[in-house]
Amino acid sequence: MFKATVLNRRNATAQRVYRIALGGMTGILILPVILILGMLIWKGAPIISFEFLFTGPTKGMTAGGIFPALLGTILLVLVALLASVPLGVAAAIYLSEYAPDNWFTRAINLAIINLAGVPSIVHALFGVGAFVIFFRFGTSILAASLTLAIMTLPVVIVATRESLQAVPMAFREACWNMGATRWQTIRRVVLPNAVSGILTGVILEVSRTAGETAPIMFTGAAFFLPLLPQSVFDQTMALSLHLFVVSTQVPNMPEQLPYGVALVLISLVLLMNSPSIALRMYLRGKKKW
């Protein structure tokens, strides 16, 4: 057997120190999440019931349930996904697979970076001018969802582009050598191997879309509506705005109610993301490279 040298022991000690330090940093990052979830469950879980989830607010929003806001949040997220995911994936395919390295491509990349850094309140004002006034959608689910779609587009584009570029070039070259066109290669080889990364962008978009308040406050969400929306051209309530209202604007609010709304919002995000997370884990488990 080989005897460990002084250098080997020193390297092993340094490795243990770095492992402990990095593990401690990871624990510090996870700890606030655990504390927040624990507080929400402790204070919000007692109010969660069938009536709370499937009835509307009553008594000046100090009692009753959150069903209109729950339904409105689901509609906003779904319409935003339908608007942004196809456009974002198409843009990422162009930038990754077709676009040459020139001033036009660099300008597009710069625009994507700048769009990701625009504050949400600015997106809200853009949504008012573009979708509410110019396209005459009015304050509606459609206007709010399109505003959210524009706001989250950089997330989808960047996540998709990175996942496409992670597919080995050898896969493309093998297809081209077999006579496949560029689009056939993208559709049958590149995209299937990049689905897990695309789903990451979808997960991030759902999380951000469900939690935004300023963009929907100006473009489609309402303080209180007695009726459920009948189409995408109607206004709706939303959990994020409802949480803001009951936490700051409504007097004599029961302490448990805001925590219950927050717990439902987080649970809804996890529930909507769970199929994407499960599919992503399944696809990553099947990867052979």
Residue 83 near residue 281 (C-beta atoms within 8 A): no
Give the tens place of pLDDT for each residue, 227-268.
Answer: 899 999 999 999 999 999 998 888 888 889 999 999 999 999
Overall domain count for the chain:
2
- Average pLDDT across the chain, whole number: 91
The pLDDT value recorded for residue 60 is 83
Residue 275 near residue 263 (C-beta atoms within 8 A): no
Give strand pairing partners of 236. 221
The answer to whether residues 260 and 271 belong to one domain is yes
The answer to whether residues 103 and 34 belong to one domain is no
Give the tens place of pLDDT for each residue, 95-141.
Answer: 999 998 888 899 998 999 888 889 999 999 999 999 999 999 999 99
The answer to whether residues 138 and 19 belong to one domain is no
The answer to whether residues 120 and 189 belong to one domain is yes
Give the tens place of pLDDT for each residue, 203-232.
Answer: 988 988 998 999 999 999 998 888 899 999
The pLDDT value recorded for residue 226 is 83
| CA 256 distance to own-chain centroid | 27
Reduced to 3 states (helix: H, G, I; strand: E, B; else coil), residue 178 is: coil
Higher pLDDT, residue 14 or 289: 14
The answer to whether residues 43 and 110 belong to one domain is no
The answer to whether residues 54 and 26 belong to one domain is no
Domain residues for 140? 50-286
The pLDDT value recorded for residue 116 is 85
Please choose, from the candidates 228, 267, 223, the residue with its C-alpha nearest in 3D space to the C-alpha of residue 68.
228
The answer to whether residues 71 and 199 belong to one domain is yes
185 pLDDT band (50/70/90 cuts)? Answer: very high
Does residue 1 lie in a domain region? Answer: no
Q: For residue 289, is pLDDT > 70?
A: no
CA dihedral over 195, 196, 201, 202, signed as positive or negative = positive
157 pLDDT band (50/70/90 cuts)? Answer: very high
Give CA–CA dist 265/240, Å, rounded. Answer: 8
Give the tens place of pLDDT for each residue, 191-202.
Answer: 998 998 899 889
Query: Domain of 56: which CATH number?
Result: 1.10.3720.10
The answer to whether residues 24 and 70 belong to one domain is no
